[in-house]
Structure 1
Amino acid sequence: MKKILKNVLLFSALIGSVNCLALPAAAVDVATANTSVMADAADVVYSGTCGAEGDNITWTYNESESTMTFSGTGSMEKYYVSRWDTDGYNNPSIVPEWLTDSRISVYQARTVVFEEGITEVGKMTDDYFGCENSQCFLEVPESVTSLDFSNVTNSLALYGLDGSWFYGFAWKSYTKGNYSKRRYVSVGTAKNPVYPTSGSCASGATWTFDYRTRELHISGSTMKKSEFPDYPYKKVIFEKDFVPPENNNSQADETNDFVFSFVLRPHRDSNVYCYPNSPFANEYEKIKTITDEEDGTLLYADIVKCNYLPDDTGICGDVNLDGKVNLLDSVLLAKAVNGSVTVNDMQKKNMDCDGSGEIDIDDVTTLMQFLVHAVDSLPLQ
């Protein structure tokens, strides 16, 4: 009896141990199955071809990432969808392949990427994107030299290389077009920029361009308006040695049309800079003082703007560094002497009006004497 009971207990223990061993195995299988499903969902990718005749371009749509990528070399098919095109084309509709692919139930691309090697995109439409009335992203490589997104109504963030064809195309579209909902994001500088970093013109002037600061520096003898580099600058700086071309304006008020075209607001607003007493600055000051022959009012003073850069050589008496010496400088000098304002090193250099090497009330007196023509020059000799 004891032997039978012992065998029963041993058998029960064996069954229990088998069940205990089986449970973890079953749990692993479930986890593996779930992981497999998730992996499949994350890798839902469709692809096809879309190149124009003679070219090799494929499209790949990653559904989980909402990203469409075009790869290959050459030109894209010039898709024509009648409901978007209104510019008189008579071609039959050429519907993008990804819209007719039965595997894709709903096309919802938010990011469209053209990879290096594609040279021409043609007319883009909203059918490239699947995000109506929301922000979409377009990445364009250096190799693209032709693209038209005028038929894309979505808000776009454009990503491209500074100096590439697309860089200039996007800038001109923003500044000269009507695409207020779009913005350009730099992703680096092109290896072979369409916009070189320096150059010269036939009239003799030279220029340099900095992609990082967007500063365009103009120097040298002279330059015609037609020779001015069409660059996406944020600031144009006319150096001390730059000489504006002779005036060929037909108006009788003697405004220099080259200088006037840059300082006129709001076209250039306040992104034009020059140095005090430079040839460019002298022409600018002339424009500001031109008056109406009938009533004597200033014609352009309120509609032109040019910023003065600090001159390393300095102008004695020019305390506020605006390139001129007038009553405003005497007021600021008096405040600096009594300690009510702080000034920089260049201002201190310009404040020594009596040439003593010290800044005190005597400098204020000397500056006032200069303004009323009691002394001929600054600093006092």
Structure 2
Amino acid sequence: MKMKLWKKVLAAVTAGVLCLGSVGVSGVQNMLESVETVFTASAYVINSYDGTYGDLYYSVTDTDEVKISGCNETVESVEIPARIDGKRVTSIAKNAFYGCSDLTAITIPDSVTSFEGNAFSNLENLTAITIPDSVTSIGESAFSGCTSLTKIAIPNSVTDIGGFVFSNCTNLESITLSDHLTSVGGYTFSGCTSLSAITIPDSVTSIGQAAFSGCTSLTEITIPNSVTSMEEIIFSDCTNLADVTLSNSMTSIGEYTFSNCTSLAEITIPDSVTNIGRYAFKACTKLEKITMPNSLTSIDEYAFVDCAGLTEVVLPDGMTSVGTSAFLNCTGLKKITIPDSVTAIAGLAFENCTGLTAVTLPSGMTTIAHNTFENCTNLSEITIPDSVTSIENKAFYGTAWLAARQKENPLVIINHLLIDGSTCAGDVVIPEDVVTINIGAFNNCTALTSVVVPDSVTSIHGNAFYGCTNLTTIILPDSITNIGMLAFGDCTHLTKITIPNGMTSIDAMTFDNCVSLTEIIIPDSVTKIDYNVFKSCSDLTIYGYTGSYAETYAAEKEIPFVSLNSIVTTTTTDTTTETTTTAKQTTTEQTTTTTPEQTTTTAKQTETTVTKQTTATTTKQSTTTTAEQTTATTAKQTETTTAKQTTATTNQTTTSSAQTEPTALYGDLNLDGRVDITDAVLLNKACAGAVMLDDATKKNADCNGDSEVGSDDAVVLMQFLVHIVDKLPYQN
């Protein structure tokens, strides 16, 4: 049977086909859009049907039951019958009334048991609807966008509500839920901006993602103890929500659960909760008090970011970790108690907590992460336990505590870690008790001219002397086994340096933009030199040993190389003495060979008997200095021949096979096998033209996958680090 809705479709398609010859590609596109308009203007166009009943379209199911599948798009009110042609009407099909924008009232018989997805969605003029007790399930988005609907009751027969069921019903003020409902689906009431109150029945065990997000009129909510699972974003942007009671059966507070709940002033976390998720209370600007249970073991990144009203936090005993930026920008926070059970506080955890004045770190901590207390401008008292063996970059930058320590001594040393020397000037001798020079310790210390590093130091971290533009000399001991990335980057007046004998590799960009560097001595212990180590060092000469990796590297990079084995200097001294001791004349010829490690002497002595009682001794001494590590010594006398010393040292030659190009790890610019804030800093420098990237690094830097490196990649990398995007490369 030909139906009138298909006449509309056929007319549109026919008109388009007849015009193909004259309208071109754009005309075809417009024709297709007109067909799409016909399909979307009426709900029934995407469903087949078997007959009509007044303004309704229906189909007959395999069980000989009737499903309402569409209606006349101009109808204003509809009464659905319990039977059509003697068959029971049991369901409303997907999209059945979608687009019937003039519909204001619907009567549903008690024969209907289910509403499929989008059954009544976007009925903008529908003001009321009664759901019969026969209905057991309501499909996804069934009433979404019914902006004139003000109240609705879900009968106790309903056990399941799909996601988005009442989303964006902006005038929905009250709703009664079924006492047998077991779950509230994701986004069920999202955007119901007029909903001021709702009671969740004890039958509910789970609440889906963003179920009440954007309910800006909701002022209070009680989650029954039956609820064991709450997904993320549930109450996000409920800006008037002030009173919350949580279930004591839930184990975690999901990501963004209360983010931007700007009226929430106080909350008690139940004893069952072990984790507070990312951004859980983000920008709850009026939150002053939060009670945390002893069951809590971890607070994830950004959990309380921008909670400017928070004044005091007591972390419970048993808690083990605080995530990245967990309390970032909590400017009103004056006191925080951290138990000894906490072993890890991630980077930026308390950054910009300008009201914080004192903090005692737990005795079990070993690492203070980067930027942990950065710009806590009033933080003047910090107790650091002896257990701390690592303090990362800018952990205390901008604090009153650091300023006071710098005033006492420009070399700030904590637990044998030199964490800051940025206010030093002139010639600096680092004390003997220092073991590590921290990342960025002397960063941009432009008044620094020379540094002597003691042999207690074993590691110089990345960026340690970055931007020390007037540093001309630094003496490094052989105790150093590691020098980090960009350690001497932009030291534009550094002229020469000797790599310690304990080093086996030189990290990427270590001497980047050291434009005055002309000489570097590299020991044969070095078997790896990473990328861009000597970038912009155009006048550099490498001094090393024949057959070493340094020689191979110099040849590959076309850098002048001087072998230390071939440097020779000779001096000769003649001395004559006369004595009256014997009737023999002795002539001694002595040659001394000196190496950096050993001096040996070769002597050839001849005695001749003469008739005179005067002995004349003539000595001719030649000294040859060479960098060669192999020496040989012999001695010969006419009367007695004795091999006094023979020493042989075998030259050591290390070869390195050509490196293969690594597989791309997007975001890992420093090629250390991980992606972190250091990579973001490097990428920003590259975008600003401060550093140059080689091909391998460019591949990793392409964070948005467009085969180019630019500011868009820097933005994507930062989004990845703060978990706005979850993988790289990320294409928007």
TM bucket normalised to smaller: 0.3 to 0.5
The structure, 1 or 2, with the larger RCO (C-alpha pairs under 8 Å, 6+ apart) is 1
Q: Which one has the largest radius of gyration? A: 2
Answer 1 or 2: which has greater helix percent. Answer: 1
Q: Normalized against structure 1, the TM-score is what?
A: 0.41
